[in-house]
Chains A and B, each alone.
Chain A
Amino acid sequence: MPRETLDTKLTQIKNEIYLLGSMVEQAVLDATNTLKTRNLDEARRIYEEDSVINEKRFALENAIIILLATQQPFARDLRLLAAMLLVVNELERMADYAKGIAKITIKLGSSDIDIPVRDFQKMAEQSVSMLHRSLSAFIEQNPNLAAAIPQEDDIVDEMYTKIYRNTIQYAIANPTQMDEANDILWIAHNLERFADRVTNICERTIFITTGELMEMNTNDDEEYLSEK
């Protein structure tokens, strides 16, 4: 096969992206779990191990740039490599949300504020399920699978809205815990943004397979505009 070298290296990078994705999935599930266990040592571990994900992202970026420079990919190969650069960046940012949640666990310490643990776990599980399938769609270059995922972001958004409203009410009733309530909002925000970034990965799968750059799921903005 004439492009065996390129194909072999593309497969290696795909596998590494899959691995990076599973590290990010685990980080956000573990971080969310520390809200329940309030295990500060575990939260510190998650916070510190974010650097492993950052290093892996740079290693992948470097490998992609070397392939672009040395293998002169065209057409679908070129779109795939350009999309990979973006996806590793998205994954790194998603890991930062996990790190952010771990940081809040540490900050809350033994605070007695009521954390909506079950809702956060549901948000995290939904987001991780979306990420997992979006990466499968990306690796397999399956546009149908990718196209079906962004609409599920609405589930995460609804949970975010629910937590947001409850937390604001709680803060009004307990003004001495305003600071902790703000932390709760940040956790919700991190999980909500985590799921938003899944949509970006799905958009890249469409780009690789069709060559079209298109935005998926702009519901958030439409709702905002109609409420106005």
Chain B
Amino acid sequence: MPSLLSNENLKINAQKFNLFYGDFQALKDINVDIPENAITSIIGPSGCGKSTFLRSINRMNELIPSVKTDGGIYLDDEDIYTQDVVELRKRVGMVFQRPNPFPKSIFDNVAYGPRAHGLKNKAVLEEIVEKSLTDSALWDEVKDNLNKSGLALSGGQQQRLCIARALAVEPEVILMDEPASALDPIATLKIEELIQNLKKEYTIVIVTHNMQQAARASDYTMVFNMHPDRSGYIIEYGKTSQIFTNPQEKITEDYISGRFG
């Protein structure tokens, strides 16, 4: 697949990437360039490998014993499969579908990552917590209650807390797997606007079942589809404005206009 990148810098690049769960091939020949400081969404029918590809970008799939991969995924031109995985996951953070704050205070949730990486200085931790909560658009709502349990927040606030927790270790890339699917429409729009602000500092890749969300919130859209053997591949990748107004592939057209999938 040809590179799309015009002015943007290349951040993540997959080359002939294949992934197998045992004998089943879940991803086939994924070749794609993901630009820096942009929001790239991944859409496609259920079971086509969207989340599998997303999880490959920070090697979360290795937690499943039967997984094998070949080909490569490169972060700033370095093969992520030859890097230290702890260091990789510090650079490539993840936010999940259901908000999953730890049963700890708001402060401790955000400070968790930096502490795990050995940071003890209280003043520095306070600074990181404030910056992360500010960047995740939650600070004004929680600054007087940092000792309150993270679980006491609303669903939308919990998800922004999880985003703050991901930001606290200063990643370069944030992967989001259906980050708003458990939220109401207004909380969803808040997360989308938050993501718009985050792209100034981070590269964001987001998997969503919600095509409208991909249309609203992303700069680039990657459309996955399934081969007859059920392995996932990229059918089309382009600027979101182009994919949703003038897709080049019939399958994309049928999928985004609700006639397939």
B181 interface residue, CB < 8 Å from A?
A: no
Name A2's contact: one of B186, B241, B244 (CB within 8 Å).
B186
Q: Which residues of B contact A3 (CB under 8 A)?
A: 189, 193
B59 interface residue, CB < 8 Å from A?
A: no
Q: Which residues of B contact A5 (CB under 8 A)?
A: 192-193, 196, 216-217
Knowing A2-B186, A5-B216 are in contact, say whether A69-B193 is a contact too (CB < 8 A).
no
A166-220 interface (Cβ within 8 A of B): none
Contact status B196-A71, CB under 8 Å: no
Q: Which residues of B contact A2 (CB under 8 A)?
A: 186, 189-190, 192-193
Name A72's contact: one of B196, B215, B245 (CB within 8 Å).
B215
Contact status A72-B186, CB under 8 Å: no
Contact status A4-B193, CB under 8 Å: yes
Shortest distance in angstroms between B189's beta carbon and chain A's nearest beta carbon? 4
Binding site for A on B (CB under 8 A): 186, 189-190, 192-193, 196, 212, 215-217, 240-241, 244-245
Q: List the B residue with the shortest CB-CB distance to A71.
A: B216
A226 interface residue, CB < 8 Å from B?
A: no
**Given A2-B186, A2-B189, A2-B192, list of 15 further CB < 8 A pairs?**
A1-B193, A2-B193, A3-B189, A4-B193, A4-B196, A5-B193, A6-B216, A66-B241, A66-B244, A69-B244, A70-B216, A71-B215, A72-B212, A72-B215, A72-B216
Q: Which residues of A contact B217 (CB under 8 A)?
A: 5
A65 interface residue, CB < 8 Å from B?
A: yes
- Closest 6 A/B residue pairs (Cβ): A2-B189, A70-B215, A69-B244, A66-B241, A69-B245, A4-B193
CA distance A65 to B244 in the complex (A): 10
- Of A65, A66, A69, A72, the most chain B CB neighbours within 10 A belong to A69
Contact status B189-A70, CB under 8 Å: no
Shortest distance in angstroms between B38's beta carbon and chain A's nearest beta carbon? 14
CA distance A6 to B215 in the complex (A): 12
Interface string of A59-78 (1 = CB under 8 A from B): 00000011001111000000
What's the dominant secondary structure at chain B's contact region?
Answer: helix
Q: Which residues of B contact A70 (CB under 8 A)?
A: 215-216, 240-241, 244
What's the dominant secondary structure at chain A's contact region?
Answer: helix
Shortest distance in angstroms between A5's beta carbon and chain B's nearest beta carbon? 6
Shortest distance in angstroms between A12's beta carbon and chain B's nearest beta carbon? 14
Q: List the A residue with the shortest CB-CB distance to B191.
A: A2
Q: Which residues of A contact B196 (CB under 8 A)?
A: 4-5
CA distance A70 to B210 in the complex (A): 12
CA distance A5 to B199 in the complex (A): 13
CA distance A72 to B214 in the complex (A): 11
A-B contact pairs, 20 of them (CB 8 A): A1-B193, A2-B190, A2-B192, A2-B193, A3-B193, A4-B193, A4-B196, A5-B196, A5-B216, A6-B216, A65-B245, A66-B241, A66-B244, A69-B215, A69-B245, A70-B215, A70-B216, A71-B216, A72-B215, A72-B216
A82-141 interface (Cβ within 8 A of B): none
Q: List the B residue with the shortest CB-CB distance to A70.
A: B215
Shortest distance in angstroms between B132's beta carbon and chain A's nearest beta carbon? 21
Q: Which residues of B contact A65 (CB under 8 A)?
A: 245
Q: List the A residue with the shortest CB-CB distance to B218.
A: A70
Q: Which residues of B contact A71 (CB under 8 A)?
A: 215-216
CA distance A72 to B190 in the complex (A): 16
CA distance A70 to B241 in the complex (A): 7
Q: Which residues of A contact B216 (CB under 8 A)?
A: 5-6, 70-72
Shortest distance in angstroms between B246's beta carbon and chain A's nearest beta carbon? 9
Q: List the B residue with the shortest CB-CB distance to A62.
A: B245
